Structure 1
Amino acid sequence: MGEHVIKLPDVGEGVAEAELVEWMIETGANVREDEIIASVMTDKATVEIPSPVEGKIIWRGGEPGDVLAVGSPLVRLEVDGAGNVKPGETPAPEPKEKPEEAKAEKAPEPKPEKTAEKPSPKADKPKTNGAAPAPAMPRAEGEKPLASPAVRKRAADAGVDLRRVPGTGPAGRITHEDLDAFFDSGGETASVPGAVLRRNTSVAEVPVRGLRRKIAEKMQAAHERIVPITYVEEVDMTALEDLRAELNKTRKEGRPKLTLLPFLMRAMVKAVGEQPHLNAIYDDEAEVIHQHGGVHIGVAAQTPTGLMVPVVKHAEARDLWDCAAEVARLSEAAKEGKASREELSGSTITITSLGAMGGIVTTPVINHPEVAIVGVNKMQVLPRWNGSEFTPRKIMNLSSSFDHRVIDGWDAAVFVQRIKSLLENPAMIFIES
């Protein structure tokens, strides 16, 4: 029998570390060749790690949430044959003893005997503040409890009948501490409409791991590095919505249903063709702006595990229907957790949309290191003056953010106004310049 160490492989170009998301095997279990043993996450993409050999797991190199370097030991197996650990070679390190285990195994040290001390004069006095009060009978009808205005207001807000609260202050005055003790004991409150019947003092600890950790890191980088400017413009979507409804009604079999996104993507392709410096990545460390010829549009998608940004590559080479099909495919892959690292990286400009919950105005966070993001807000029917009368129009705001270090406010306004013009006159989207 021999030992075989599986190290964390290079899961992507330029990736130096990955977070351990989940173990698929337990220590002591037998695994087959090519069986998945663990999943790790990098750049929001989850990668499954298979075992290259058959054997028995005798050691695992971390717990979910740990960040492991590429090339570090992942698992150690007992295998038939020599394995890849040579005789005399130091194998992968054993797992470190957990503090809880060490504490449990360590024999308790005898405590030194304390010498008798003279009791304090206050020792015989029972402490009442902060302790759970004994059940109290209501005070007599008409008897007014003694309490300060602040205590009375707090009790009224919580729906508490002060006649039921024992007071420990002078002459039985009810203090804030008495209220705290009453709440902590689970004391009943009065039946006051809308009152809080019992205070919930629980605190849940939720570890920031996996996708949520990646999102936090991305947002932190954007906040620390980018100086944003947000530009909001109203767009009349009536003509485009009429066109979209007609295209969906007459679409050929097999074609996807059109949403707003494909139209917006085609409008953005035209707009960045006139302002290529907005379709760019800013390397602020090297102080170089990389202007891309290809328009790779990230489409922010909410998934059960958090926000992901699958990327529609080369939108400039896709027509309306192709854009719609690719958005649908990538969104489904992201929601099912099947999107690859390549499908979640490489964007040069991003769209974010909350759909019907989009609000009137948002302030989109730029997808660092890009320099522009276009945000879609909710659409609503509003009255608009046409020169002679008010008519109902389908109105939607675009909330777009730009990296003000490299994009001037004028350029941002020109870009959004160009998109507005194309969306309000949708036939222009299909006309080649």
Structure 2
Amino acid sequence: MARFTFKLPDIGEGISEAEIVAWHVAVGDRVEEDQGLADMMTDKATVEMESPVAGVVVELAGEVGDQVSIGAALVVIETDAAETVADAAPAETKAEEVEEQIEAETPGAEEVAEKTSPHRGEGLEEAQSQAPSPETAPLPDPLPQGEREKSAHVLASPAVRARAADLGIDLGSVKAEGDRIRHADLDAYLRYGSGQGYHAPHVSRARADEPIKVIGMRRRIAENMAASKRTIPHFTYVDEIDVTALEEMRADLNAHRGNRPKLTMLPLMIVAICKSIPDFPMLNARYDDEAGVVTRHGSIHLGMATQTPAGLMVPVIRDAQDLNVWQLASEITRLAEAARTGKAKSEELSGSTLTITSLGPLGGIATTPVINRPEVAIIGPNKIVERPVFRGDDIVRARLMNLSISCDHRVVDGWDAASYVQALKKYLETPVLLFTD
């Protein structure tokens, strides 16, 4: 027998370590050549490590969530080879294979769960066949026979008796304040009497604590958000925008869109951002705080915060200022789908100069979004609501939306943020300007 040490190969330029996000094997398992060993996550992607040999696993580098340095031992496999093999194939040879995988973004949470639980579901069918069905399983009698007979002689209305039966309470043990037991007596029994500790049917009960290790994408999000709030002095400005005319125009555009994609509010919002941002270049910028340099970008590479099964990701719409509203709608759909299915490329998830984040119908009254560092601003449209407003002496129905913007106060002043939102508001409240030069 011989031992083969599989060392973590170089899986990307500038990467010094990777995080274990899933093991596909355990000590004692037999693995075949090219069988998956583990999923390793870097800042750019999640890559599956495959075994170059067949044998039995005798050592693993650590637990899920641990960091492993490039070149360090990841798995030790006992093989049938006559000679001891000290190391895995050189890092350079493995890197070529890994480069193809690094184009793919982190897999969705369901896919990772499926990989980490290969035997999930075994025995379930058998267990279900042995379990009694809800229709045939006997329901327990909440009261013993003697107590049920005793309760029958207590004075109480049919409604009180029905409630006591539902709660499993023996009316004979309930103290009545008057000549008969009333609902208030049941309440007092449950609150102060021998009903202490009683749990009524259909009432939520406390569950056991569940420790969840923060790993993978969740860890990356936690680290990025903590760094952003720790280093950036945020401030948020919120203003109300009347989007009645914009929504009417959107409905007209969708009614005559033909084969083009259906428009949501987002592509129209992005057009307004691109038209208004040139006069406020301090917002479309990135701040290198170590070098003390703010770079104001001429092109708008708009980050689009997207919720995925693996966590929050920010795919980037490149050169958003060059796209019309229909092209933006197509690109939004494509990037969101790529992010949610884990198919977004690394270059599609980096390099944004400004970010927009929206919770759609869940948008709430106002949000205070966290800046996507090293950017200096993030825009957050909130939920659209219908409310009565004054127009002259008339009260009319209007569709209103609060718009939030969070800024880095080291680079952007409050006056700048407020002035920019007013300029953006002009485009959104007079939507014909979106289609003029």
TM-score normalised per structure 2: 0.70
1:158-182 CA distances to partner (integer Å, 9 max, x unpaired)? Answer: 97353427xxxxxxxxxxxxxxxx6
Alignment of structure 1 residues 394-413 onto 2, 5 Å? 394-413=399-418
Cα distance in structure 2, aligned partners of 1:393 and 1:141 = 57
Match of 1:319 among 324, 344, 349: 324
Alignment of structure 1 residues 18-33 onto 2, 5 Å? 18-27=18-27, 28-33=29-34
Alignment correspondent of 2:262: 257
User: 2:21 is paired with a residue of what secondary structure?
Assistant: strand
Alignment of structure 1 residues 1-40 onto 2, 5 Å? 4-27=4-27, 28-33=29-34, 35-40=35-40
More helix by share: 2
Alignment correspondent of 1:209: 215
1:160 and 2:190 aligned: yes
Contact 2:383 2:402 in 1 (8 A): yes
Alignment-mate amino acid for residue 356 of structure 2: I
1:226 and 2:227 aligned: no
2-11 or 383-392, larger mean C-alpha shift: 2-11
Cα distance in structure 2, aligned partners of 1:211 and 1:245 = 38
Alignment correspondent of 2:97: none
Give the unaligned 5+ runs of structure 1: 87-136, 143-155, 166-181
Alignment-mate amino acid for residue 216 of structure 2: G
Alignment of structure 1 residues 163-182 onto 2, 5 Å? 163-164=193-194
Give the direction of change, closer, same or farther, for the CA distance of 1:395–1:11 in structure 2 (3 Å limit).
Answer: farther
Alignment correspondent of 1:51: 50
Alignment-mate amino acid for residue 389 of structure 2: R
Cα distance in structure 2, aligned partners of 1:278 and 1:376 = 16
Alignment correspondent of 2:396: 391
Shift, 1:283, TM fit: 1.6
Alignment-mate amino acid for residue 207 of structure 1: K
User: 2:406 is paired with a residue of what secondary structure?
Assistant: strand
Alignment correspondent of 1:71: 71
Cα distance in structure 2, aligned partners of 1:216 and 1:32 = 36
Provide the aligned C-alpha RMSD in A: 3.1
Alignment correspondent of 2:419: 414
Matched residue pairs, number? 345
Cα distance in structure 1, aligned partners of 2:31 and 2:219 = 32
1:342 and 2:347 aligned: yes
Contact 1:30 1:56 in 2 (8 A): yes
1:240-275 CA distances to partner (integer Å, 9 max, x unpaired)? Answer: 21222222222232x322111111112222222222
Identity, % of aligned pairs?
44
Give the unaligned 5+ runs of structure 2: 88-171, 178-185
Give the direction of change, closer, same or farther, for the CA distance of 1:298–1:159 in structure 2 (3 Å limit).
Answer: farther
Cα distance in structure 1, aligned partners of 2:257 and 2:176 = 77
1:200-256 CA distances to partner (integer Å, 9 max, x unpaired)? Answer: 373222222222222211221122111111111111112221222222222232x32
Contact 1:26 1:57 in 2 (8 A): no
Match of 1:245 among 240, 244, 251: 251
Contact 1:3 1:84 in 2 (8 A): yes
Contact 2:36 2:51 in 1 (8 A): no
User: 2:282 is paired with a residue of what secondary structure?
Assistant: helix
Contact 1:2 1:85 in 2 (8 A): no
Match of 1:352 among 352, 357, 363: 357
Alignment-mate amino acid for residue 257 of structure 1: K
Cα distance in structure 1, aligned partners of 2:231 and 2:187 = 44
Shift, 1:403, TM fit: 0.5
Cα distance in structure 1, aligned partners of 2:205 and 2:31 = 50
TM-score normalised per structure 1: 0.71
1:85 and 2:93 aligned: no
Cα distance in structure 2, aligned partners of 1:159 and 1:341 = 63
Contact 1:296 1:315 in 2 (8 A): yes
226-235 or 304-313, larger mean C-alpha shift: 304-313
Match of 2:428 among 418, 423, 431: 423
